[in-house]
Amino acid sequence: MNMSPWPAHGGQAEALLAHFGLPADHRLEDFSANLNPLGPPAWVSDWLVKQLAGLERYPAPDYGAARQAIAVHHQLQPEQVLLTNGGAEAIFLAAALHAGKRAVVLTPSFGEYARACRAHRLAVTEIALSAPHFALDVDSLLTEVDGIDVLFLCRPNNPTATLIDAPAMEALLDVTASIGCRVVVDEAFVDMVGDTQLESSLLQASLAPLLARYSHLILLHSMTKFYTLPGLRLGYMLADGATINSAESHQPPWSVNHLAAELVAPLLADREFAQRTLQWIANERPRMQQALTKLGLEVVPSHACFFLIRPGAEHAMTSDALFEGLLRRGMLVRHTHSFIGLDGDWLRIALRDGPANQRLLEVIYDCLR
Ligand SMILES: Cc1ncc(COP(=O)(O)O)c(C=O)c1O
């Protein structure tokens, strides 16, 4: 049970308004959800309407067309792909593969790894990343994984927006391979790490090319963030064929609905949307990073579509006070009371479109004055 006065999930606007004694119809701009503000692609709603007749049939049980499209996207084989009901189902399937064993998760990170592990009776050890940089020290992590069956990482990490670099990942994969520790990497936000060129971004940010060398690597993807379709539920797991088969054996039949499954190939084919998103993020992220820092906030350098911030030493203001000031002025950001290791000390703000980001900067300025 959540005994904290802070609602467990940051985006629970209704509960937060009630907590601060604000009316339920208090107008809010939502900076708490990490979704691509350019999406969903404009054609998606018409496309979905045209597919409605397909709801009268069961989806093809192996989701062949979607798997093929994802495999081509990552230059893998369809046997290495499992379509899932959002990245969330992929996390729970990765935990199911290691039921009853021992897991390491990092904190602060996305809380669902620990929850999924507990649901599948894994013993969970938490390893803390330290403020203000939240960098992972791979050497010290490796001293902790001896005797551990599976390590969960988020890359880039939610909520810190930090990215473990590729050489560090390879060093970690070499050692974990030798001691038989599986590595699960959640790449839910990897599409937004950003290289402005689509082709190089795809190939460099995701660890998918490393699957050819490391059979103990499991990658989890979400398609709800980049395409702004969290209500549709769409994600996938990438791993070697045997791991995918085992994961599939834990998955309920027809776990992914017809509309979501059919949408995979056209979404991945929309290069223009992907390219436009990368270009936008390459401009907007550094602009916001700079502007937030200039306001006197401490900002963790971001590799994702969100920022972890807190008032800097020059402001005698807590993150809680800034959160409340923003809420009263109509801006909902993500408090971090439910992230182990942050405990409310920081705030997470999502990137939105340019004018909305500008409004947020002005309101933050007003709060800090
Ligand atoms: C790091 C991370 N992984 C996975 C998910 C789940 O995404 P999905 O909507 O695809 O289930 C989230 C959602 O917030 C997330 O932050």
Q: Which DSSP string do the residues of 141-197 spell out, in sequence order?
A: HHHH-TT-SEEEEESSPTTT-----HHHHHHHHHHHHHHT-EEEEE-TTGGGS--SS
Positions of E strands within the chain: 29-30, 81-84, 102-107, 123-128, 150-154, 182-186, 217-222, 235-238, 297-299, 306-311, 331-332, 334-335, 347-350
Span 141-154, average pLDDT: 93
**Six token digits for residue 210:** 């490393």
Give the pLDDT band (50/70/90) at residue 3: very low
Which among 92, 221, 225, 305 is the best mutation to test ligand 1's pocket, defined by most ligand atoms within 8 Å of the CB?
225
Task: Please determine, looking at this structure, whether the domain spanning 13-34+273-368 carries the CATH number 3.10.20.30.
Answer: no
**Closest ligand 1 atom to Cα of 90:** 11
Span 314-337, average pLDDT: 95
What are the pLDDT digits (tens) for 261-290?
A: 999 999 999 999 999 999 999 999 999 999
User: What's the confidence (pLDDT) of residue 161?
Assistant: 96
pLDDT value at 2 more than 60: no
User: What's the confidence (pLDDT) of residue 310?
Assistant: 97
Q: What is the 87 CA–ligand 1 centroid distance (Å)?
A: 5
Burial of 210 (0-12, 13-18, 19+ CB in 10 A): middle
The more confident residue out of 295 and 203 is 295
User: What's the confidence (pLDDT) of residue 1?
Assistant: 46
What are the pLDDT digits (tens) for 192-248?
A: 987 655 555 555 689 999 999 999 999 999 999 999 999 999 999 999 999 999 999
Q: What is the 294 CA–ligand 1 centroid distance (Å)?
A: 30
Give the pLDDT band (50/70/90) at residue 11: low
How far is residue 53's CA from residue 292's CA, in Å, rounded to a whole number?
48
**Six token digits for residue 199:** 């082709």
User: What's the confidence (pLDDT) of residue 90?
Assistant: 98
**Six token digits for residue 224:** 């709800």
Give the pLDDT band (50/70/90) at residue 6: confident
SS3 state at 31: coil
User: What's the confidence (pLDDT) of residue 5?
Assistant: 65
Residues with CB under 6 A from ligand 1: 86-88, 110, 154, 158, 186, 188, 222, 224, 230, 235
How far separated are the first and last CA of the chain, in Å rounded?
37
Span 90-112, average pLDDT: 97
Q: What is the 157 CA–ligand 1 centroid distance (Å)?
A: 11
User: What's the confidence (pLDDT) of residue 204?
Assistant: 62
User: What's the confidence (pLDDT) of residue 200?
Assistant: 56
Percentage of the chain with pLDDT > 70?
Answer: 95
pLDDT value at 108 more than 60: yes
Percentage of the chain with pLDDT > 90?
Answer: 87
Q: What is the 222 CA–ligand 1 centroid distance (Å)?
A: 6
Span 66-71, average pLDDT: 98
**Lowest-confidence range among 9-13, 37-41, 194-198, 213-217?**
194-198
Q: Residues of CATH 3.90.1150.10 domain(s) within the chain?
A: 13-34+273-368
| CA triple 226-232-238, angle to 5 deg | 60
Q: What is the 234 CA–ligand 1 centroid distance (Å)?
A: 10
Q: Residues of CATH 3.40.640.10 domain(s) within the chain?
A: 44-269
Class of the domain covering 44-269: alpha beta
Span 293-320, average pLDDT: 95
The residue whose CA has the least distance to atom 4 of ligand 1 is 87
User: What's the confidence (pLDDT) of residue 61?
Assistant: 84
Q: How far is CA 205 from the centre of its chain?
A: 14
**Lowest-confidence range among 11-15, 107-111, 185-189, 343-347?**
11-15
User: What's the confidence (pLDDT) of residue 146?
Assistant: 87
How far is residue 15's CA from residue 7's CA, in Å, rounded to a whole number?
6
**Six token digits for residue 341:** 């290791």
User: What's the confidence (pLDDT) of residue 201?
Assistant: 53
User: What's the confidence (pLDDT) of residue 196?
Assistant: 56
CB proximity list for 213: less than 8 A, separation 6 or greater: 173
The residue whose CA has the least distance to atom 3 of ligand 1 is 188
User: What's the confidence (pLDDT) of residue 195?
Assistant: 61
Average pLDDT over the chain, rounded to an integer: 93
pLDDT value at 35 more than 60: yes
The residue whose CA has the least distance to atom 7 of ligand 1 is 87
Span 70-95, average pLDDT: 98
CB proximity list for 360: less than 8 A, separation 6 or greater: 29, 31, 326, 331, 349, 352
How far is residue 41's CA from residue 271's CA, in Å, rounded to a whole number?
11
**Closest ligand 1 atom to Cα of 230:** 9
Q: What is the 88 CA–ligand 1 centroid distance (Å)?
A: 6
pLDDT value at 309 more than 50: yes
Name the CA radius of gyration of the chain, rounded. Answer: 20
User: What's the confidence (pLDDT) of residue 170?
Assistant: 94
User: What's the confidence (pLDDT) of residue 10?
Assistant: 53
